[in-house]
Amino acid sequence: MGHIVVEVMPKQEILDPQGKAVVGTLHRLGHAGFTDVRQGKRFTLTVEGPVTSEHLAAAREAASTTLSNPIIEDVVGVYELNEAAAEVSR
C-alpha cells in the first residue's frame, strides 16, 4: 500500500477567519511568538501497491479538481509519503 499526501491552503489574499481565531487563542495561552496562522487541508490518498507516476498524476488532477476550490485555495503539495516518515513527527 502506498500513500500520497495532498496539501491545500487558502490563497494568500483570502481572509482566514479560522486562522485569526487560532492566533488569538495561541496568544491568550502565552504563545505570543506567532504573528499569523493559516489553516488548510491535508489529505492522504491510499493506493494499492507502490505509488507510481500515474498515481501521482491522478492525485495532482484530483487535487485541483476535487480536493480544492481553485477560486479560494492553492494546492501547495502533492508528494509520495515516505512510509518510514509516515504519520510520525518530522
Task: Name, in order, each residue with C-beta under 8 angstroms of 86's C-beta and a sequence gap of 6 or more.
Answer: 3
- Other beta carbons within 10 angstroms of residue 75's beta carbon come to 19
Contact 38, 16 (CB under 8 A): yes
- How far, in Å, CA of 62 to CA of 70, rounded? 12
* Residue 20 binds a second copy, judged by CB under 8 A: no
Task: Name, in order, each residue with C-beta under 8 angstroms of 27's C-beta and a sequence gap of 6 or more.
Answer: 34
With respect to a second copy, which residue has the nearer C-beta, 70 or 77? Answer: 77
The interface with a second copy within residues 28-87 (CB under 8 A) comprises: 29, 31, 33-48, 54-55, 58-62, 65-67, 74-79, 87
With respect to a second copy, which residue has the nearer C-beta, 1 or 84? Answer: 1
Judged by CB under 8 A, how many residues of this single chain contact a second copy?
Answer: 46
Residue ranges in contact with a second copy by CB under 8 A: 1, 7-9, 19, 22, 25-26, 29, 31, 33-48, 54-55, 58-62, 65-67, 74-79, 87-90
